[in-house]
Amino acid sequence: MKKLLLLAAATLALAAGAAHAQEPAVLNLYSARHYASDEQLYDGFTQATGIKINRVDADDAGIIARLKAEGSASPADVILLVDAARLWRGEHDGLFAPIHSKLLDEAIPASLRAQPTADGGVAWFGFSTRARVIVYDKLRVQPADVATYADLGDPKNKGKLCIRSGSHPYNLSLFGAQLEHMGAEKTEAWLKGMVANMARAPKGGDTDQIKAVAAGECQIAVTNSYYLARLIRSAKPEDRAVAEKVGVVFPNQASWGTHVNIAGAAVARHAKHPGNAVKFLEYLASPAAQNYFANGNNEWPVAKGVLTDNPALKAMTGGSGTFKAETIPVSKVGEHQVQVQQMLDRVGFK
């Protein structure tokens, strides 16, 4: 895998235009990805191109706030975030520069990137996806009872649901997608039904929800797919035991498909090394780097023609490694964020 990463980055380096040849061999990255497995990905880019990455780690909201505070003095070249709504917010706050790259335009599906800017550029691209899936107690729940997101708010599941805070970006994005699919009236009724079905008040992260189902504290829960995949692939027997107790459903396979969120990147508006920034984004879209996202952090690759060989992702999808994902533009979830939060407040979803 490392050799493939180096080859992919070297190819990108040779193909780079001369317009930015004078740039120093440095890239300043603001990243909301806190995965130790990404280190090899970054190292491969540096070894192949000679471009050193200086990284600042923070969460999505912290990065957006920092960019606003720094203004034109910001040293950031690339912004790497893990939620479509945050990317949309950064774009609409004017924090990103338009990206012009034929390679990225051809590699990344239109639904997984920002809408074109006035000059034909793109403010941000998604580079990996994670599905928002439902896990269930295999002894007490039938998969048919949680086949859709709507089932989470159905009275048949009263007292069974565990979920993290409704205001967490992962849930806000899911709810924003449902608003796009169902409209405001049905979405608010669905959220109210979820509140009525909770086995406990929202708390913890996604892994906590999976463990709560395995422990019998609740019977169904919502999680990003890579949290379950981590348990499946864990070297710890106790983690694998948790994964064995739960089943997983990719909701809405018979309708519009399962909600997916993205890890995506943008070029900072005041980037001092814009050429290096585009090189890095093109590197992230290469087949080798895409496979690294899949195998390193259990995410789905997004570049056209790239399939995953991750054993956990294959196991979760019945061996295929694929599922039907919704195709609404991920930028739509950001547009609905404020409206969704107002709904959550009205129905008492903490």
Q: Which residues contact 91 (CB under 8 A, 6 or more apart)?
A: 114, 123, 124, 266, 331
pLDDT value at 18 more than 60: no
Q: Which residues contact 345 (CB under 8 A, 6 or more apart)?
A: none
Split at pLDDT 50, 70, 90, the class of 143 is very high
- The CATH number given to 130-258+326-347 is 3.40.190.10
Q: What Cα–Cα distance (Å) separates residue 227 from each residue in 79, 97, 123, 297?
A: 23, 32, 28, 9
Split at pLDDT 50, 70, 90, the class of 16 is very low
pLDDT attached to residue 288: 79
Mean pLDDT of the chain: 92
Q: How far apart are the first and last CA of the chain?
A: 43
Split at pLDDT 50, 70, 90, the class of 21 is low
**What is the pLDDT averaged over residues 121-145?**
97
pLDDT value at 349 more than 80: yes
pLDDT attached to residue 11: 47
**What is the pLDDT averaged over residues 77-100?**
94
pTM over 0.75: yes
Looking at the DSSP bridge assignments, the partners of residue 128 are 263, 301
pLDDT attached to residue 122: 97
pLDDT value at 12 more than 60: no
**What is the pLDDT averaged over residues 132-156?**
98
pLDDT tens digit string along 269-310?
999 999 999 999 999 999 878 988 898 899 999 998 888 889
Q: What's the rounded Cα separation, in Å, for the pair 322 and 300?
A: 9
pLDDT value at 35 more than 90: no
Q: What's the rounded Cα separation, in Å, for the pair 190 and 96?
A: 35
Q: What's the rounded Cα separation, in Å, for the pair 152 and 325?
A: 18
Q: What's the rounded Cα separation, in Å, for the pair 105 and 126?
A: 11
pLDDT attached to residue 333: 85
Residue ranges of the chain that CATH labels 3.40.190.10:
2-128+260-316, 130-258+326-347
Judge whether 88 and 334 are in contact, CB under 8 Å. Answer: yes
| Positions of E strands within the chain | 26-31, 52-57, 78-81, 96-97, 125-137, 161-162, 220-224, 246-249, 260-268, 300-301
Judge whether 73 and 247 are in contact, CB under 8 Å. Answer: no
Q: What's the rounded Cα separation, in Å, for the pair 112 and 329?
A: 6
pLDDT attached to residue 37: 76
pLDDT tens digit string along 159-176?
999 999 999 999 999 999
Tell me the CATH class for 2-128+260-316: alpha beta
Q: Which of 108-112, 132-136, 186-190, 306-310 has the lowest mean pLDDT?
A: 306-310
Q: What's the rounded Cα separation, in Å, for the pair 65 and 19?
A: 31
